[in-house]
Amino acid sequence: MTSATQSAAPAARRNLGIAAPLRVSVAAAVNAVRRTTPLAQSLTNFVTINLVANAQLAVGGTAAMHYSGEEAAALDHGASKATYINMGTLLEPFRTEYPAAARDAAEHGLPWVLDPVGAGAGELRGAILRAFAATPPDIIRCNASEAIALAGIWGLDGADSRSRAGVEASDEVDEAIPAAHALARFTGGVVSVSGAVDLVTDGDADYRLPGGSRWMTKITGAGCSLGGVTATYACVTDPLTAAVSAALHYNRAADSAEREANGPGSFQTAFLDALWNTTADEIAQSPIYMEKDMS
């Protein structure tokens, strides 16, 4: 048990029933994406852009990849229903382009998803992330270290005084719970923290989502593409349902792909196929453990 878990407020945990409203909403979101093929535009990093686009297509969405605030504004005027911003590989022009894309999404009432890759590493990344505090994301998709680092950048509770960068998680999900709660309450949205057991929180209730595959850590872009798929789901439903739907879809597909794969290369191919083939009912009936603060 981590120190964060020891100091957390008492919580009651239960597996949601098969007819729970959240499960119904997840199934509806999966079907809506496949029926309407919504466009979620992505400003994402160079290393993982191909997998992000292919994952969005494999769940039933439509992809548009670019790096321009001007293009974001043009797409927000009708075509795009959500925006995904990933902080992976940055260039100096992104100092203004990324915050402009976030502002434009907010001005048009469109949800946007942030993946704060490498939060805590470098002046440029820190400046962009600080700028986002003025137009907070509807969903933050991150690992535990990134959640803790971002809370520090925004001056929130749950931050850690240690210098850290969150490209690869060095913290466990439970260590990031205070930061995730603080981020969710600050943004008024949802935080999705990936790990051995994923955490999705709105700052009040926590949802633990087990599943996934050991091979996910052996392909580059697993987390980045989850952020893109989360944005696809945000096109058709509320932030909590979108984050839970994306994580469940990923975990279920990864479980299936691992049974077919012989290594990381074949896993990635099988994973994209499984994203396409996994049914709405299979996704919605995956384990969802709810913990609600009882203090």
Torsion of CA 122, 168, 91, 105, to 10 degrees: -110
DSSP label at 175? G
- β-pair partners for 209: 198
Query: pLDDT tens digits for the chain (295 residues)?
Result: 333 333 444 456 789 999 999 999 999 999 999 999 999 999 999 999 999 999 999 999 999 998 877 777 777 667 899 999 999 999 999 999 999 999 999 999 999 999 999 998 899 999 999 999 999 999 999 999 999 999 999 999 766 645 455 455 557 999 999 999 999 999 999 999 999 999 999 999 999 999 999 999 999 999 999 999 999 999 999 999 999 999 999 999 999 999 999 999 999 999 999 999 999 999 999 999 999 764 4
Binding-site positions for ATP: 141, 194
DSSP label at 138? S
What is the pairing mode between strands 190-194 and 139-143? parallel
Query: Are 143 and 168 a contacting pair, CB within 8 Å?
Result: yes
State the pLDDT at residue 11: 59
Write out the two tokens for 284.
């919605």
Binding-site positions: 65, 141, 194, 221
Neighbours of 292 (CB within 10 A): 12
Q: What stretch of H or E contains 239? A: helix 239-260
Query: Which residue intervals of 37-68 are DSSP H helices?
Result: 49-58
Question: Can you give the residue ranges of every domain in the chain?
Answer: 3-293
Question: What is the SS3 assignment for 199?
Answer: strand
Q: How far apart are CA 102 and CA 84, in angstroms?
A: 9
Neighbours of 39 (CB within 10 A): 20
- β-pair partners for 190: 139
Taken in order 59, 140, 241, 4, the sign of the CA dihedral is: positive
Binding-site positions for substrate: 65, 221
Q: How far apart are CA 178 and CA 183, in angstroms?
A: 9
Fold of 3-293: UDP-N-acetylmuramoyl-L-alanine:D-glutamate ligase (3.40.1190)
Helix 21-36 and helix 222-234: axis angle, to 10°? Answer: 90
Q: How far apart are CA 125 and CA 138, in angstroms?
A: 19
Write out the two tokens for 35.
């029926």
Q: Which one, of 161, 101, 109, lies nearest residue 131 by Cα?
A: 101
Q: What percent of the chain is helix, strand and coil (3-state, nearest 5)?
A: 50, 15, 35
pTM across the whole model: 0.91
Query: Which residue's structure tokens are 């749950």?
Result: 158
